[in-house]
A and B are shown apart, each in its own frame.
Chain A
Amino acid sequence: MTTTGIHTPTARRSAATAQRRPRRERQGAAWVFLSPWVLGATVLTLLPMAVSLYLSFTDYDLFNPPHWVGLRNYVQMFTEDPRYWRSVLTTLTYVVVAVPLQLALALVVALALKGMKRGKGFYRSAFYAPSLLGASMSVALVWRAVFNDGGTVDHLLGTGGWADKPGWALLAVALLTVWQFGAPMVIFLAGLQQIPAELYEAASVDGAGKWRQFVSVTVPMLSPVLFFNLVLQTIQAFQVFTPAFAISAGKGGPADSTLVYTLYLYDRGFVASHMGYASAMAWVLLLAIGAVTAVLFRTSRTWVFYASEGER
């Protein structure tokens, strides 16, 4: 235990007493302080997870006791349920469209804000606000009204309501996410401010233009932050639910075009009362997100540059 930085006599004395106490007693105290968290994590997270894993091997309609069916839910999911694959495809499409768009927009705005002399705080808050509001159902509902048949977008572009066209509805969902670029933007902004100004000076002395500076200085220096944002937003995108739910009134329509994975999971569990099947879907999603994250980490070795590596 280190007491560096604590200089009041009281603190020093209590630290000394603590050192004299047997190790086990100190552990006991630690457990007492940890207990609310441990209790919460066990009762609210670990136990339900274990139950959900068990349920995924059963047939459970909420009313009758779960009935063990082995791997049947998983087999049915992969071989007999076209709508399941439809939801997988929809979610992948969504991730591939929404995440890059969102990160690109976040980066562009962060770059613009970085160069600003005045009003930075205001704009930063203004751009961040949608992220705070975005999780709410009300915004999603407004979004639906905007993209409706007869809504604002329809009036401006005469497209006849994106939310009601199977080819466009998913894009409307993606745009809602893209619009909430505040969180990655703030992180980008922090990352950009960490890049030493000397690097840009050196680059410009070497005759590098703005674009060259961006590609050769900003991007590599920012790559850890970019990676962080990419992983975080990808994980979030796989779990998209609220906007798809709101735009399609919970049905995943029109014609299943916004039937994302979690929405179908919800449908199976709470509408069709197949809790076992829904649990199995949840576990497959967990594993899939784990796998995708692992792949991202693997590829990161080739493109993420940590400043400390250069000093080695």
Chain B
Amino acid sequence: MSPKRTPKKAVKTASAQPRPGDLLINDPILKTISRAAFALVMLFALLLLWRGHNAPGGGFIAGLMTVCALILHRIANGDSALRVDPVKFIPWGLALSFTTGLVPYLLGRPFLKSDYGYLTTALTGEFEWATALLFDLGVFLVVVGAGLALAYALIEVDPTELVEGDS
């Protein structure tokens, strides 16, 4: 990659050529359905995350579901539903998961030892809390960040650019 060699611009054939990232933009059916589906899938993902401790679900699955929802949104609307770069979720997720492990260690218990208990309120009845949920939240953030980072990186590739080895 010497500085002398300037990248050759793709030959544009008028405006018919799709730009990277606008795969199916302005497809009205997709756009309409995605709006509803996005909200539903997101809700379901959060539900999965929440109930993961006692029923099928958990941070990994919820993260994958969220990734699907966000990719759908991106494909339908051409822009990310998030205001931030998803890559930023990764360090925060790792930090959160690590901290939930570190806190019990600093309190003199084994690393990552989780704790749980019950709260009873008039409104919700008996309610179980578990620190494992925080760990799961970290997993969720990492999975969302990683999945979206992958997908967005691929979406942003200009399909006309090929790398060595392709033919």
Chain B associates with chain A = no
Query: Could you list which residues of chain A lie within 8 angstroms of chain B, going by C-beta atoms?
Result: none
Q: CB within 8 Å of A: which residues of B?
A: none
